Copies of this chain bind each other. A is one copy, B any other.
Amino acid sequence: MNVTIYDVAREAGVSIAAVSQVINGKGKISERRRREIVRVMERLNYRPSVIATALAGKRTYTIGLLVPDISNPFFAEIARSVEEQGHRLGYSLVICCTDNKEDRVERYLSLFRSKSVDGIVIGTGIGTDDKETIAPLAHGRIPIVTIARELPGCDGGTVVVDDFAGGRMAAGHLTALGHRRMAVLAESPKLSSSRERIRGFREGLGEAGVELPDAAVVTCGGQPPVAEGKRRASELLRSGDRPTAIFCCNDLLAIGTLQAAKEAGLSVPGDVSVVGFDNTILASVTDPPLTTVAQPIERMGQLAVDLLIRRLANETDEPPRTVLQPELVVRESTAAPAPSPI
């Protein structure tokens, strides 16, 4: 096996208690002894077992991250940021992908409990009603922070962007350009973020005196998002009075829309404008580059981890809800609508 605290103790001619003390930097030991022990630890290339340490009552220094799909650039960037801040603070990341399957959420939450993660960051939606799935949480006493979305009944804290404001920005941009007939490609209505974006978009439209009929809000439930977005956008673009602009609740759906437009022989933004959400790397490389509502992804990850760590350090009386401001990034997928042929 690996070298243990016993090996170090024996080699240094001291008790394991002494070694433990130098590991944790507490207790009383003479400088002489401590240096000797450190030397031995290095010579033996000793690394304390996190497993044993955790069993003995300490943390595992592990945080669990739940996202729908790590290959989705938005979540990849979230993960990156969480990973980075986590490591900065001494924690490593266990990542699980739920694929938006409800049973997986439950399974992974349960898994996190059995693996004794110190805290959980949730970036995935939860379908069923709160109590059922959030149960393991209250059960296990593991602090949970949600990121980029809110979960009903999850009180651990949350870091989100102001989705409502984001939707409103998109609407403002589009109406200012002169659009009147618009549609939105939405994610699951189960997602708080998606609902808020639509609500904000509708509000923004209203401020310009434009209506958004319910029928113009299309839910893209299927997987994968790009293909589903393309499919739904195609339907929209084929319809009688096709919209002059489409607001997509994330960049992936916007890309699908771009593809659909291309396939239909429509030019973007000439024939139809497209606005995305997230501002992932994808938005900057598409054809045309995507106008999108940017989330401060890196900042969100940092804040989520900070909040979580403070939570499990019991510095509790935090404002549990951090709301960051989104920002409209105008690229080349939006323009004034073509003059309508009278």
Contacts and interface: CB of A to CB of B under 8 A. Distances in A.
A21 interface: no
So how many copies of this chain end up in the complex?
Answer: 2
Interface string A167-197: 0000000000000000000000000000000
Given A70-B83, A139-B45, A93 B94 contact: yes
A80 interface: yes
B281 A73 contact: yes
Nearest to A114: B47
A287 to B, nearest CB: 3
A77 B73 CA distance: 9
Contact of A71 (B69, B76, B92, B139): B76
Interface size bracket, A side: 35 or more
A95 interface: yes
Interface in A50-92: 50-52, 54-55, 60, 62, 69-73, 76-77, 79-80, 83-84, 87, 92
A49 B56 CA distance: 13
Contacts of A281: 71, 73, 226, 282
A71 B71 contact: no
Contact of A114 (B50, B70, B76): B50
A94 B62 contact: yes
A123 to B, nearest CB: 13
Interface of A: 2, 45, 47-52, 54-55, 60, 62, 69-73, 76-77, 79-80, 83-84, 87, 92-97, 110-111, 113-116, 136, 139-141, 226, 255, 258, 281-282, 285-289
15 contacts: A47-B110, A47-B114, A51-B60, A51-B115, A52-B55, A55-B55, A62-B94, A70-B70, A70-B83, A72-B76, A73-B281, A92-B111, A93-B94, A285-B286, A287-B287
